[in-house]
Structure formats: C-alpha cells, structure tokens
Amino acid sequence: MNSNSTDDEMLRGYLLGELTEEEADAVEGRLLMEDELFELSEAIESDLLAEYAQGSLAPAERELVRQRLAASPQGRERLMLARSLNVLAAREKAAVLPFVPRTAPSRQPALRWAALAAGLLAAAGLAWFTREQSHIVHQENRPAPVIAETPRAHEVPAPPRAPVAPSVAPAPQPVKAVFQLALTSLRGSESVEKLRVPTRAGTVELQISVEGMEDLQSFHLTVRNGRAETVKAWTALKPKDLNGVRALVVDLPAELLPAGKYEIQAQGIAPGGEPEDLSPLEVEVVKEGNG
C-alpha cells in the first residue's frame, strides 16, 4: 500500500473532523473509488485509537477522537483492544541475578600456625627431658607413694526429660489474586483470557477497564459459569480511577471460581438512558500451585 504525507495529513484531518464540508465530500468520494486510500484510512484510524489509549495525543485531538472515533460501540471495542495490546506490550520479565561462586578460603595462614605450634611443642619437650634427667637417680631410690582409694560418689540416675511438643508451622495466610481485564468483542479460543489463581487465594479481584466509555456513568456486571449459571452479579457499579485508567473493580470469593470457563456480561447506563449491552468477556480460571 503506497502512502505519502499529503494523504496521511488529509485522512487524519478527515477522521478528526477538521476538514471543510467540500474537502470532506471530496475525500469520501476518493475512499469509495480507491481501495488503497481506504486501507490507509483504516490504518490511520487504528493509529489514532492507539495514541488515545497511550495518552500521547494533545487534549484537543484526544477529545475529537473520543467524540468521533470512540463514541460508537464498534469504536469503543477497537479502543479496548488497543489498550489491551498496550498493557501486554508494557509487561517486562523480572531480571535474573547472575550466580557468583564463593571464593575458597586460603589455607596458607592455617599452615603457618600449625608449623609454629609444632616448633613450640618440640622446644618444650626438649627442655622437660633435660630437667628430668638430672633427678632420675633420686626418683629411683624413693619409695612409691601410697595412693588412698577415693570413695565413689553415690550415683543417682538423672530424671527423665519431659517430652517436647513438636513445633507446628503456622497455616499460610490467604492471598488476593488481582487481574486486569478489558472488554472486547473478539471470540474463540484466542480471545479467552486465562486467570491463573493460586490455590491458597481467598479473594479474586477483577479490574475491568471502561476507558473510552465516558458517556456511561454506571454499569451492571454478571459472572456466569460454563453451565450459564450466575456466579455473582453487581448493579449500579461506579467506575474508579486506577492510575489514570477508568475501570470497574469487583471482588468475589475464590471458592466461587473453580477451574473452568466463565463469561462476564456487562451493561452500561448513560444518564437518563436504558441499560446498553456491551460485548461479553470470556475468561478461563486455572488453579496453580500454592502461590
């Protein structure tokens, strides 16, 4: 697909509504006739939604994208997909520290001390031998001393030791498993988000982004299992601000989510309007280890 800066600027202005009525009509005529220009328009629209999700647009352009490209259900779904891709791209693997082998201690100082101790012992033995030779004759003529027998103390058996109770390790405390999700219209195996829940998790927290849905002020959420049975439902949920991201935050006991597939159905409500069905989110719970 060929592209030039003139067409890029023209299509960007057309998508943001910055062209005059005559210029917009001319662009629409070309879009109907030129396949390459239509494909370029789709690519630029995706770029604008990605920049909106990243927060890199100027305030004026951000407002234009929200009003013109992210206002429709299809536009909101594309925006959610762009935000999900940005979140996945931002994840980094933890750094692994290299293993440094310990240096073996030097044995040279120990050898020096051993040699010095041996020399001292040899000198002391020689001095003792010389002194004893001068008294050997007198010691041979002296009677052997009588050694009195020392009575043995009465032996009393030691009292038995009291049994020591084995130490019991404290039970591990339950943890909270937190997952960040975004609504999307994609279906099938590739669109199923896996929630890897530790077996000792007590609570599962879902943070579901609703960025780009500023016209919807409250939401209904329902979690259903693979048999279409309702696991948990919430009504009139208000979005929260999570580090600049508008999202719904709900908690539910981990025991309500055994391993298997689930569907999260959502409805948005605008002021004075009726509940609007949003695209469902499919997830799969996987139990893992002891977390």
- Summarize pLDDT for 3-49 with one digit per residue, the tens: 678 899 999 999 999 999 999 999 999 999 999 999 999 999 999 99
Q: How far is CA 187 from CA 159, 174, 277, in A?
A: 76, 33, 16
Domain residue limits, the chain: 5-69, 175-288
- List pLDDT tens digits, range 84-118: 777 776 665 444 444 344 444 444 444 444 444 45
Region 158-176: mean pLDDT is: 72
Confidence label for 240 from pLDDT (cuts 50, 70 and 90): very high
Q: Measuring CA to CA, which residue among 286, 258, 212 is closest to residue 49?
A: 212
What's the confidence (pLDDT) of residue 96?
44
Q: Does domain 175-288 have CATH number 2.60.40.1220?
A: yes
pTM equals: 0.46
| 260-269 and 281-288 strand pairing | antiparallel
Please indicate whether residue 150 or residue 238 has the higher confidence score (pLDDT): 238
The pLDDT value given to residue 98:
47
Chain mean pLDDT for the chain: 77
